[in-house]
């Protein structure tokens, strides 16, 4: 391919390449994130009564475990399809992943619920989520490598920046489609059958995606390698069995992708979950404010990708990680004040303690499901009552966290005791009457059950969310170009895919669950932020020491 200077206009075939690759990738991300946005619906139709317990919380726990399955399996998809990309080619591999993703998503849309086929419904749903995870695990590495290998030297950040925007735009598309359908059909009809429409729509998106990708040609670097007989026959062994390449994989994971992942998920998914669970903002209102922030910040994916062509990928990515780590605490405090000022006031004004035997207090993973769902957490707690399981300490922690109460944990013995200002409540049993007494005391102390829509400063909220998404664009915009530049053409798909999907699937995808478990166990709605802050800072240290800038490298010569 002839090389062009950065200021020269992009030829028509390259515009087509970027459009076709990005459009299909956007559809794939849309399919993958639909499930997470609609978790409460799946809890109702597939897990309530499916042997998970009678309460809403139990169903949501099972729903989010199924959601997590799609993240956990992503590295497996990276290995399977990354290998295919290095053996048979980039183009045909991401055609397969697109077909797999579209078919699995459409199947979710027509899958009968628990009321129709019993336990087979949640089992089939989990299997389809696994297929989605495998597909997205193979999608990214192939597409990022394909676009980067077409890009002229000096413009790889700009070209791949378009691909980088598709993950956030896929989430944006899912939020917009769901909000529009809820408004058009009404909540009752949407919860009954309308939730299936976004999944069925994937058939149309799949047809468009396949059509545009069939028009593309194979990567020129892979064609040259294949014709010269240099394509790898054992990319997994080459990528991970040789220390020289395995070392680069580890550097990419711990010096780049882990930090990028927690910044991406904190700035988007975690921010949404924080608003709906902790701040009690209506799910539709919260989604629309996040949509506005995503739409405003989306061009910066390409902008920071292009800037990285001039000043380097490494400084932009690591600066984004550092700024995010230093800013999360004040930004999320500001988000509380803007979205639910009554809650911010109650947390500052009312001193609350929980006195209990430490040995009776378990780690509160159960709270993560309500958090990730974005549904009414208070309702979940009430629904479970005595059915929530665990000790009185566990129940007290769950219920306090349901109401976003800031509390201190004190050592004691016997039943749990909650002190709310001058009010003292003894938990002799974790039952519904006890919960009602607790709610009455919190109501009297000024803790709101829901954010007052009239007091939500939507402009301030959108502004704060915009800043969070700007950090996302900084760490993510230049990432594909830098990952591609680190590895040789022979094993590039495999080497790029695995650290990306371990970082984003495990560090990023499991972040909301880990963060809310920390919140429930500490009694501080901001304590979960230490998870992304710690990983982002550690990534900065590793990245500064070990990551090498590579924007000027010749991709055909990397690793040779």
pLDDT of amino acid 330: 97
Mean pLDDT computed over 415-432: 85
pLDDT of amino acid 462: 98
At residue 119, the 3 state secondary structure works out as coil
The confidence band for 198, taking pLDDT boundaries of 50, 70 and 90, is very high
Q: Domain boundary at 412, 445, 478, which?
A: 445
360 and 495 assigned to the same domain: no
332 and 426 assigned to the same domain: no
473 and 395 assigned to the same domain: no
pLDDT of amino acid 371: 36
pLDDT of amino acid 230: 53
pLDDT of amino acid 90: 65
Mean pLDDT (the chain) is 82
Residue 106 pLDDT > 90: yes
Lowest mean pLDDT among 275-279, 296-300, 383-387, 422-426: 383-387
Regarding predicted confidence, which is higher, 457 or 368? 457
Please check whether residue 560 lies inside any domain of the structure.
Answer: no
314 and 249 assigned to the same domain: yes
Most confident listed range (61-70, 178-187, 208-217, 300-309): 300-309
Q: Domain boundary at 425, 445, 465, which?
A: 445
363 and 481 assigned to the same domain: no
Lowest mean pLDDT among 23-27, 153-157, 197-201, 422-426: 23-27
pLDDT of amino acid 283: 83
Residue with structure tokens 């199924």?
66
Q: What percent of the chain has pLDDT over 70?
A: 84
Q: Which domain holds residue 423?
A: 350-445
Mean pLDDT computed over 123-151: 83
pLDDT of amino acid 256: 95
- Backbone φ, ψ for residue 351 (5° rounding): -90, 125
168 and 282 assigned to the same domain: yes
Please check whether residue 223 lies inside any domain of the structure.
Answer: no
472 and 419 assigned to the same domain: no
Q: Domain boundary at 410, 445, 480, which?
A: 445
Please check whether residue 232 lies inside any domain of the structure.
Answer: no
Regarding predicted confidence, which is higher, 467 or 66? 467
pLDDT of amino acid 304: 97
pLDDT of amino acid 44: 84
Regarding predicted confidence, which is higher, 426 or 331? 331
- Structural domain count of the chain: 2
pLDDT of amino acid 152: 82
Please check whether residue 261 lies inside any domain of the structure.
Answer: yes
Residues ≥6 apart with Cβ < 8 Å to 433: none
Spatial strand order in the sheet of 408-411:
408-411, 352-356, 416-420, 423-427
pLDDT of amino acid 381: 36
188 and 165 assigned to the same domain: yes
Please check whether residue 343 lies inside any domain of the structure.
Answer: no
425 and 489 assigned to the same domain: no
Mean pLDDT computed over 94-110: 87
Mean pLDDT computed over 239-266: 90
Please check whether residue 540 lies inside any domain of the structure.
Answer: yes
Please check whether residue 520 lies inside any domain of the structure.
Answer: yes
Lowest mean pLDDT among 83-92, 155-164, 235-244: 83-92
CATH, residue 279: 1.20.1250.20
Residues ≥6 apart with Cβ < 8 Å to 11: none
174 and 104 assigned to the same domain: yes
Please check whether residue 529 lies inside any domain of the structure.
Answer: yes
509 and 406 assigned to the same domain: no
Lowest mean pLDDT among 59-73, 98-112, 346-360, 538-552: 59-73
The confidence band for 77, taking pLDDT boundaries of 50, 70 and 90, is confident
pLDDT of amino acid 154: 86
Residue 547 Rama label (left phi>0; alpha psi -120 to 50; beta): beta
> What are the pLDDT digits (tens) for 460-517?
999 999 999 999 999 999 999 999 998 887 778 788 888 888 888 888 877 877 887 7
The confidence band for 31, taking pLDDT boundaries of 50, 70 and 90, is confident
Distance CA 194, CA 339 (A): 29
Regarding predicted confidence, which is higher, 262 or 397? 262
Residue 125: name the closest of 193, 202, 31, 46 by CA.
46
Two structure tokens written together for 483:
């990952």
The confidence band for 302, taking pLDDT boundaries of 50, 70 and 90, is very high
Distance CA 501, CA 268 (A): 18
Two structure tokens written together for 382:
């009430």
Residue 398: name the closest of 373, 376, 367, 419 by CA.
367
Residue 56 pLDDT > 70: no
205 and 290 assigned to the same domain: yes
> What are the pLDDT digits (tens) for 365-390?
544 333 333 333 333 333 333 334 45
Distance of CA 328 to the CA centre of its chain: 17
pLDDT of amino acid 9: 58
Residue 7 pLDDT > 80: no
pTM of the model: 0.84
């Amino acid at each position: 391919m002839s090389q062009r200077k950065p200021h020269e206009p992009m030829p028509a075939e390259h515009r087509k390449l970027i459009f076709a690759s990005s459009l299909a990738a956007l559809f794939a991300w849309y399919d993958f994130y639909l499930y997470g946005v609609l978790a409460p619906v799946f809890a109702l139709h597939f897990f309530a009564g499916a042997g998970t317990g009678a309460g809403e919380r139990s169903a949501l726990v099972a729903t989010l475990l199924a959601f997590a399955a799609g993240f956990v399996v992503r590295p497996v998809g990276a290995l399977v399809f990354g290998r295919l990309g290095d053996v048979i080619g980039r183009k045909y591999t991401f055609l397969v992943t697109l077909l797999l993703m579209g078919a699995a998503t459409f199947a979710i849309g027509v899958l009968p619920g628990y009321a129709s086929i019993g336990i087979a419904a949640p089992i089939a749903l989990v299997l389809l989520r696994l297929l989605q995870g495998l597909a997205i695990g193979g999608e990214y590495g192939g597409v990022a490598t394909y676009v980067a290998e077409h890009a002229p030297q000096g413009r790889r950040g700009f070209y791949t920046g378009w691909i980088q925007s598709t993950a956030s735009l896929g989430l944006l598309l899912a939020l917009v489609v769901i909000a529009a359908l809820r408004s058009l059909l009404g909540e009752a009809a949407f919860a009954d059958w309308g939730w299936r429409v976004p999944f069925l729509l994937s058939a149309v998106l799949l047809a468009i995606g396949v059509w545009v990708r069939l028009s593309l040609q194979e990567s020129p670097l892979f064609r040259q390698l294949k014709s010269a007989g240099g394509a790898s026959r054992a990319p997994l062994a080459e990528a991970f069995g040789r220390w020289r390449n395995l070392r680069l994989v580890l550097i990419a994971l711990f010096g780049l992708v882990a930090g990028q992942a927690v910044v991406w998920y904190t700035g988007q998914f975690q921010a949404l979950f924080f608003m709906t669970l902790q701040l009690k903002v209506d799910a539709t209102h919260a989604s629309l404010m996040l949509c506005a922030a995503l739409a405003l910040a989306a061009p910066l994916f390409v902008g920071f990708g292009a800037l990285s062509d001039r000043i380097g990928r490494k400084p932009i990515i690591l600066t984004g990680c550092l700024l995010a780590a230093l800013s999360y605490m004040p930004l999320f405090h500001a988000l509380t004040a803007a979205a639910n000022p009554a809650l911010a006031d109650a947390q500052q004004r009312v001193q609350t303690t929980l006195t209990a035997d430490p040995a009776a207090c378990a780690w509160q993973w159960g709270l993560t499901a309500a958090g990730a769902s974005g549904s009414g957490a208070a309702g979940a707690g009430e629904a479970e009552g005595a059915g929530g399981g665990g000790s009185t300490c566990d129940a007290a922690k769950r219920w306090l966290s349901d109401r976003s109460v800031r509390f201190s944990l004190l050592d004691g013995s016997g039943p749990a005791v909650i002190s709310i200002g001058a009010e003292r409540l003894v938990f002799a049993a974790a039952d519904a009457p006890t919960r009602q007494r607790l709610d009455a005391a919190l109501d009297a102390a000024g803790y709101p059950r829901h954010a007052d829509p009239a007091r939500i400063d939507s402009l301030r909220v959108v502004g704060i969310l915009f800043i969070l998404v700007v950090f996302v664009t900084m760490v993510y915009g230049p990432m594909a170009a830098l990952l591609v530049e680190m590895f040789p053409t022979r094993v590039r798909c495999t080497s790029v895919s695995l650290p990306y999907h371990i970082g984003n699937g495990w560090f990023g995808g499991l972040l909301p669950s880990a963060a809310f478990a920390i919140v429930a166990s500490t009694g501080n709605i901001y304590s979960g932020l230490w998870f992304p802050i710690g990983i982002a800072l550690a990534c900065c240290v590793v990245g500064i020491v070990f990551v090498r800038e590579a924007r000027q490298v010749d991709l055909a010569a990397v690793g040779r």
